[in-house]
Amino acid sequence: MLHKKILKSVIFITLLNLNYSLNAQSNNFNKFSIGFTAGTTGLGGELATNISTKFNLRLVVSGFNYSDNGQEVDNSVTVGYEVDGKVNSIALLVDYFLFNNKFRLIGGIVRNQFEINGNAAAITPYVFDANRTFSPDRVGSVSAVVNYPNEYMPYLGLGYGNALSKGNALKLNLSLGLLYSGSPELIMQGTGLISPTINQVASLQQGLNEFGWYPMLNVGISYQLLKNQKK
């Protein structure tokens, strides 16, 4: 699978660079920073340490939850709906610094749990004509789940800012990249008269197949705990 090939390539390149860096440098893991991040994977925090003068290692944890509910009137039937979404992300990333240790290439592995659950059900009877009325149970309900089949995803990106560089202990950090997530999967279930709605799964899934990459944009503030003027 393409996902596995990309994942193996990222791991191999990252380990190769780390091995070279560790062999070439003796002044490693002597600086640390903590930080706050906000972006497309939610709000979170990060820990960073130096591997060498050109490489930093970062652990980033982030996430968010979303909920919504309400009612809509359709063909004289009141339909109640609920939507819940969540993203939980744990990333192990390596920064390779360019141009005076400010701009960086980023690679790593992300455990990204993304899921959206939704359901809709009739809460009032449906009056078809003067002689036929269908109860809410007879009208039925529809539920749907969207998630990603791949839990571990390779990440590549670009960034600006070095949490462990000399100067002010407080730093602004920016990054933009892509996770190779694979296409999200849609699962639908239905009951009652509206259950044929789930027959649209194939066409809806075809549209979701175009979203094989998950964008990651992050803005962060970091604070260097142990400062060292050599970098």
Residue 46: CATH number of its domain: 2.40.160.170
What domain count does the chain have? 1
12: amino acid identity, one letter:
F
Measured between alpha carbons, how far is 114 from 86 in angstroms, rounded to an integer? 6
Lowest model confidence (mean pLDDT) among 24-38, 81-95, 214-228: 24-38
Radius of gyration over every alpha carbon of the chain, rounded to an integer in angstroms: 24
Evaluate whether residue 229 is within a structural domain: no
Calculate mean pLDDT across residues 32-53. Answer: 95
The pLDDT, as a whole number, for residue 5 is 53
Strands (E), 51-130: 55-74, 77-98, 103-122, 126-129
Mean pLDDT, rounded, of the chain:
87
Evaluate whether residue 231 is within a structural domain: no
The pLDDT, as a whole number, for residue 229 is 46
Evaluate whether residue 41 is within a structural domain: yes
Evaluate whether residue 230 is within a structural domain: no
Nearest to 37 by CA among 17, 72, 15, 63: 63
Calculate mean pLDDT across residues 209-228. Answer: 88
pLDDT band for position 1 (cuts 50, 70, 90): low
What's the pLDDT tens digit per position in 78-107? Answer: 999 999 999 999 999 999 998 777 899 999
Domain holding 218, by residue range, is 2-224
Evaluate whether residue 64 is within a structural domain: yes
Contact call for residues 28 and 57 (beta carbons, < 8 A)? no
Measured between alpha carbons, how far is 169 from 133 in angstroms, rounded to an integer? 70
